[in-house]
Structure 1
Amino acid sequence: MNQKLGRKKSLSRKVIMAGEERCVYCADPPDTLEHMPPKTMFKDRYRLSGMEFPCCEPCNNGTSAADLVAAFMSKIGPLIGKGDWELADNHRQAWMLRKKAPGFLEELFGPKANSEPILFKTDGGVLLDRVQIRTGPIGSACLDVFSAKLGMALYREHIGTNLPLTGAVNAMWFTNVGLGQDTADTLLSILPGLNALRQGKSDSLGQFAYRFNSDGVGMFSCLASFHKGLHVMLFAMADPELYDIPVVIETQRVTRPGGLLAMMPKPARPHNWNIPLLGTP
């Protein structure tokens, strides 16, 4: 399969928007610039250039809560602890999460949170006491949206055209320590290409990278990693009926262009603005 890398050169907004007739995520005309992954995904919001796409205002702003949730979950890795920048970054972004995704933090850390203690095995074979974070309905819906956005954006990046309106993204996500090593090894064996944001001698490896495969025409697949806390496996297909996509987990979500806003969770009223987060910065 074609291992075409995404562009690495920084382009101006005028060049990116020129001649575009539709949003990268739906059929509407674009009037804003979308960054995927978003700036909030990166340390101190320092994001290298690349992977910027023409987008309509409803898709861009209407799914911003999904971007915030994904950025927050990506920084809850199994080895994150007091003094780490990821923890401090999440505390700084908590106020925006309460505003844009009310109820998310309550379902993650509140008295009814669905988290559990586990033993986490490090690369060196050491067993550590950790907590597996499980998202509730708000967080899960936002991660579904983020994963679908990522698939449509990467399809555009590597295929060179927007995912057709008849196309689809088949995606699944894993948070915290939810992606087993055996599953990861199986997926990586069929995804040989490695890519990330690159600018000069800098790259986003360690914060955002993905293994991928593509036929260069109408199919793109990848396993993307965001820090140590969020992984997304996806297949983006121009004609879903042509491809026999394996079912890795039954909860994988199929999304077509134009379907993002309907997937966003309905706003919930926050129950406790002073709810403690995971650890202290």
Structure 2
Amino acid sequence: MEFATCKACNNGTRGADTVAAFMARISPHDVRNDWRWAEALELRRALKIDAPGVYEEFVNSLEKTSIVRNGVIIRGAFVSNTPMGLGNRYLDIFASKFAMAIYRHACGKALPLNGEFVYGVFLNAGLRQEDYELLLSIMPINDRLAQGEFVSDPQFSIRMNTDRRGIVISLAHFNDGLHIFSLSYADKDLYGRLQFPEQYKRGQPGHLLEMLPPRPPQPPFKIDPSGLLLPRSIRRPRRR
């Protein structure tokens, strides 16, 4: 999926993609020994570079507790009940990008600048089963991302409903950890009056960079690949 964007938006919102990739791999199930947990750990370095502060915010929000699942008490589980300010802002950007991309995918053209989209972001335990089933009931089209012989289900799939001309409603899942609801439409006057619960947000094309959180100031020193501590303004000469 793709949508038209300027170079600044494409490069500047990379952190949102990294945050979404990380959170999508945080499963509500015990996955400490499978590939999702391993990939989440591998993403830590990229997360710290592309979205500074998000990983630390996530770790600090975790609380060790016991939970009941399917009648079984699971001790030593980690639960996050603290809103992530930085993380949520990056996920808002990712959901906005997705809402514009799914419109282009379904309608074959970019969402107009005077169009609008509504989105909702749900982490691994944020979408109630009854709400999930209700949304699926009005989205009969089951789509998926396929490249060659590789099919992304169950890592990524979309359910949607669209007129293929100017409106599309969708629910996508990314692994076990992230669901995104989106409603994208070209006619803001016709559909912009629709009401949604407060956890859903609205957006328009052309405002991605405004949504980015300010990056924290860089420390005056950096560690180069050889382990030396150098002032950030100094660059080591390249070997020839």
**If the TM-score is normalised by the length of the shorter chain, which range does it land in?**
0.7 to 0.9
Q: Secondary structure at the match of 1:78?
A: coil
Does the alignment pair 1:164 with 2:112? Answer: yes
Q: Which of 54, 72, 88 is equivalent to 1:104?
A: 54
Structure with the bigger RCO (C-alpha within 8 Å, sep 6+) is 1
What is the one-letter code of the residue matched to 2:55?
L
Which residue in the other structure is 1:192 paired with? 140
Which residue matches 1:88?
Answer: 38
8 Å Cα contact 1:197/1:203 also seen in 2: yes
The answer to whether residue 186 in structure 2 is matched with residue 238 in structure 1 is yes
- Aligned with 1:225: secondary structure? strand
Matches of residues 191-210 of structure 1 in structure 2 within 5 Å?
A: 191-210=139-158
- CA displacement, residues 50-107 of structure 1 (integer Å, 9 cap, x when unaligned): x244432111110000000001000001014322111111111111111111111111
Gaps of 5+ in 2: 220-240
Higher Cα Rg, which structure: 2
How far does the alpha carbon of each residue in 1:192-228 deviate from its partner, in whole angstroms, 9 at most, with x for none?
A: 1111112344311111111100011110110100000
Kindly report which structure 2 residues correspond to 1:130-169, keeping only aligned pairs within 5 A, or say none.
Answer: 130-133=77-80, 134-169=82-117
Q: Give runs of aligned pairs for residues 10-21 of structure 1, distance below 5 A.
A: none
* Paired position in structure 1 for 2:11: 61
Aligned length: 215
Kept in 2: contact 1:213–1:220 (CA 8 A): yes
Which of residues 174, 177, 202 is equivalent to 1:226? Answer: 174
The CA distance in 2 between the partners of 1:190 and 1:163, in whole Å, is 22
Partner SS state of residue 168, structure 2: strand
* TM-score normalised by L of structure 1: 0.71
**1: CA distance, partners of 2:63 / 2:218:** 19
Other structure's SS at 1:221 match:
strand
Q: Cα 1:200–1:257, aligned 2, differ >3 Å: closer, same or farther?
A: same
SS at match of 1:55: coil
Q: TM-score, normalised by structure 2?
A: 0.82
Give the 3 Å change call, closer, same or farther, for CA 105–164 of structure 1 in structure 2.
same
- Deviation of 1:241 after TM superposition, in Å, equals 2.5
The amino acid that maps onto 1:82 is R
Secondary structure of the 1:86 match is helix
| Letter aligned with residue 97 of structure 2 | K
Structure with bigger strand share is 2
Cα pair distance change 1:152/1:120, threshold 3 Å:
farther
